[in-house]
Every structure is written in structure tokens, then in C-alpha cells.
A = this chain, B = another copy of it.
């Protein structure tokens, strides 16, 4: 209970995976800023092609993970990414009683509980500050910073690629495709952007925030996703008329029965919301607690150096001997919490139609029959009647009713494109 002051002693660090983040970690470790941390090993496939001289002559470069274990390093940094073989290597290091620091969101989202058990069994630890929101210390912020509270909701912008694309579309009025191409040119988006734009990346991160912050383990794949590829430049014009911007929002809350409501969706966010104020490739996480209200953490969610700061912060904790009980970090629950699929919100629907009389009436009749109230109908001028976009907003209601109504509406023959459906978050509903 009291505290014998834990003092740092020299800590020998092995980096597994010498890509962008690995190189940034090595740069910080060799900068002299953290005298207690010494880089001793770098593991990578084809390590000869990775070898640099600025790490100094004493670093061992190896293609064998076993070398790291045999060398009895004090901590292994896993930056290989992907689930296999990364998970297996993390597992083996923990089995050898060696602490592991990782930036691997997939492994933690999928196997966090098992790996934490492994760490506990072998008296060691697994830290993963860098797995969510890059340089923003949200794992520690939730685990320690607001540990005095009981968190009830978390929401955020967890994918810098999507945020860059959406804020570019908003600022420059360009199409999704052009904004994506520009993001790829600048290195903000991968050649295959599927994981980002379909929401899988934010889904894994949200699962981790749920575990650490809301103390609920879920099967990450259960979190419903909506793609942002259907969002068009015109949606930003309509959003602006509604006092909103469009963001890929990840949000989760624990319901009274212990189930979880969670989703990753492009959403209309009020301009005054903290989520609306995150530009470019930045990230934000807003946590809401029973006592402390809303607390926001924002900064660089990706990039070699910011992500490396999160990794090195975990290394500093290991060197300081700041032991963290694995169950304080990740709840030890064998059964995943149920993820509720529906949600309550206002709704934005953009229809693109071949115009003729009676369309609004036909749509309104369907919504009415499903107990859904139309809030407003908006139409920007200057479009052809043969391919006319217009927007209906619906008052706050359950998504199941909207879904059922849209199932009927999609059978009408006036559609030129499939309707685009986005939730409208209110200040009370986006966790901010």
C-alpha cells in the first residue's frame, strides 16, 4: 500500500520490426533522452536490408526471434503488425517472463484477454499504449488518469486516414476518390484503404477502448460498421446547412443490462462538438464518467514519431518498475459482452432520384407507417431533375424503424443511386 520508491535501472530493449515506428523508437532510444533505456537488439526479416549505423555498434541485428529470448533482454517491443506470427511471438516472450510492449491493435483486440492471462501467469506484463490513437496516452488515461471514475461512454475519431479524407472533402469540396488519392500520395492512406474506410481499423481500436475503459470485452467483429465510401461532396453542403460536419465516429456505451452499444460510422456531428474540431490526420477520444463528466484527449493518432512516443512511454514504465496488474488493464472476462446492433439518433438520408411528382409524399407515407417523424426536407439548387439529390432528416428514433422503412423505400423505382444514410449525433448522443 505504501510505496518503496521504485527506481529505474538499466533496461535492455529489443525491437521486433524495424519499419517506420520501429525506426522512430530506435531514434528516441539512441537520442540520450532516456538514459535508463538501451537498445540492444533489432529483429527483422532480411535484417541486412534494414541495418543502419546510427544505432551504434553494440546493437545486435538478427533474423531470429529466438535470439531475443536467448539474450534475456528486459523487454521486447513488438512492431511487426498483423496477427500472425506477431501474436505467437508476443506469446513466447511472455512465456519466457519477458515484458512486451506492442502497438498491435489487431492482436490486442482479438486476443487481449488470453495474452493478459499469459502475462499474469508468468509474472510479467503486456503494455499497448501505442495500439490506440498513436501518441495520445488514452490507454493510460483511462486506466490510471480517470480510474477514480466509473466510465460509461467513450467516443472518438480513431482513424486519421478517414479524418484526413473527410476534412479534405469538407475544406476543398473534392470527391471521396480525389481526397483518397491525395491522402495516398501524401502517405496518409495505404494503397489498399479498405481497413480504414470500411471501419475495421477503428473497430479494433474501439474494442480495446471498451476493454480498458468500459471494462467490457467484446468480439471486435461484432461492432457494427458503416463504410464511408458512400459519403459525397454534396453531403458536406447539406451537413453545413444542418450545423454539422461529417466524421467517422467510433462510439460505445455500456447499457444497464451489461450489454454494449457500439459502432463505427460516418456521422453528422454538430460543429460545436469536440469531435468536429479535429482536423486532418489527428485523433480524439472523449470519455464520459459518472462523476467527472467528459474528458477529452487529442493529438497525433498515427505517424512514426508520435506512435514511438507511446511505445517509449510504456518502456519507461517498465524501466521504472511501475507494475500494472494485467487485470487492471484488460478485464479477465471469459465471455464476450453482447453488442447491441440498433441505435437511437437523428437520421440524415440523402436520396438521389429521377424527379417526378409525389416522391416526398410516398417517402413520408412509408416513414409515417413505421412511426418515424420527418424533421426536414432540404434541396440544394442547381441539379438536374434526372439525377436530383435531396435530403430528408428524421427526428430522433431507433435505427431499426429506419432500416425497416428504407427496406420498403428501396423498392421504389425513382432511385438513381441507393440512399445514403448517416446518423445525426446530438450533443447528448455523441458522448460529447
Which A residues have a C-beta under 8 Å from some C-beta of B?
A: 1-9, 11, 24, 28, 33-34, 74-75, 97-99, 120, 123-125, 129, 135-137, 140-141, 144-150, 274, 277, 289-300, 305-306, 308-328
Contacts and interface: CB of A to CB of B under 8 A. Distances in A.
A11 B1 contact: yes
A294 B290 contact: no
Contacts of A141: 137, 140-141, 145, 297
Given A292-B306, A296-B296, A320-B328, A34 B148 contact: yes
A328 B144 CA distance: 16
B140 A144 contact: yes
A325 B5 contact: yes
A336 to B, nearest CB: 23
A156 to B, nearest CB: 13
Nearest to A127: B3
B293 A135 contact: yes
B309 A289 contact: yes
Contacts of A74: 1-2
B291 A306 contact: yes
A325 B7 CA distance: 6
Nearest to A138: B145
Contacts of A327: 5
Contacts of A147: 312-313, 316-317
A3 B324 contact: yes
Nearest to A9: B1
B309 A24 contact: no
B296 A298 contact: yes
A277 B278 CA distance: 11
A277 to B, nearest CB: 6
A293 B289 contact: no
A143 B300 CA distance: 18
Contact of A298 (B7, B140, B274, B306): B274
Contacts of A150: 33
Nearest to A37: B148
Contact of A144 (B297, B311, B313, B325): B313
Nearest to A134: B292
A430 to B, nearest CB: 16
Given A8-B325, A146-B313, A292-B299, 20 more contacts: A1-B11, A1-B74, A2-B97, A3-B99, A5-B125, A6-B325, A33-B150, A34-B148, A135-B146, A136-B295, A137-B144, A141-B141, A144-B144, A144-B316, A145-B145, A147-B317, A149-B313, A292-B305, A292-B309, A322-B322
Contacts of A146: 135, 137, 309, 313
Contact of A323 (B5, B289, B293, B300): B5
Contacts of A9: 1
B319 A322 contact: no
Contacts of A318: 1, 3
A316 B136 contact: no
